[in-house]
A and B are shown apart, each in its own frame.
Chain A
Amino acid sequence: GAVVSQHPSWVICKSGTSVKIECRSLDFQATTMFWYRQFPKQSLMLMATSNEGSKATYEQGVEKDKFLINHASLTLSTLTVTSAHPEDSSFYICSARGDSARISYNEQFFGPGTRLTVL
């Protein structure tokens, strides 16, 4: 199957610093990548959708200046949490959608997630 990796898996940072999370599709080209946020014992909430080479589309209520998303290639998307604060502590999950003969266009493949703790 298609594999998506995320790095780092767990990061602790001080309040006010910025943190970058990488999402990579390892064996397929990702037409679209998605970033979700999950609080403990809650569901996944879509933050933004990104297509390679274009600006991300953010969901209502998500601060685009705080959560910077870059999708520079068909296999890499990054989420940068700028000036992080304790309320940004959460589990961030990316997923990728490909479009090829091998992968159904409506299937998303999820990364293992990144736990962010802001002190």
Chain B
Amino acid sequence: AQTVTQSQPEMSVQEAETVTLSCTYDTSESNYYLFWYKQPPSRQMILVIRQEAYKQQNATENRFSVNFQKAAKSFSLKISDSQLGDTAMYFCAFMKQGRGYALNFGKGTSLLVTP
């Protein structure tokens, strides 16, 4: 079974600063997908960024970027120019083709952006 580990239960960053959330995973698969989801207080899950394992280039979405290290099985999320609206729980998730493409989530990191 795949495990996803987020070692930072809580983090805090000042507005406009940069913060990096870490995620490691364990798998024997070669083909898989990795995701970062945001869950604000409304509890609606929002996709932040996605990375296909076969792509070497790190994914970027505006202020959000990842550092994908396949050999190290590491998938960290960098948030640049942090905004108050970034305050949320962030979940790292793993998906493989089996099990109908179900997601396996890490325990999450609670991010607080302060003024």
Contact = CB atoms under 8 A, between A and B. Distances in A.
A32 interface: yes
Contacts of B44: 110, 112-113
**Size category of the binding interface on chain B:** 10 to 19
A106 B95 contact: yes
> How would you classify the secondary structure of chain A's contact residues: helix, strand, loop or mixed?
strand
Nearest to A32: B100
A34 B45 contact: no
A38 B39 CA distance: 12
B42 interface: yes
A35 B105 CA distance: 13
Interface of B: 33, 42-45, 47, 50, 91, 95, 99-108
A42 B107 contact: yes
Nearest to A99: B101
Given A46-B103, A49-B102, A95-B45, 20 more contacts: A32-B100, A34-B103, A43-B105, A44-B91, A44-B103, A46-B104, A49-B99, A49-B100, A57-B99, A91-B43, A95-B103, A97-B100, A97-B101, A106-B50, A106-B95, A106-B101, A107-B47, A110-B44, A112-B42, A112-B43
A63 B111 CA distance: 34
A11 B4 CA distance: 31
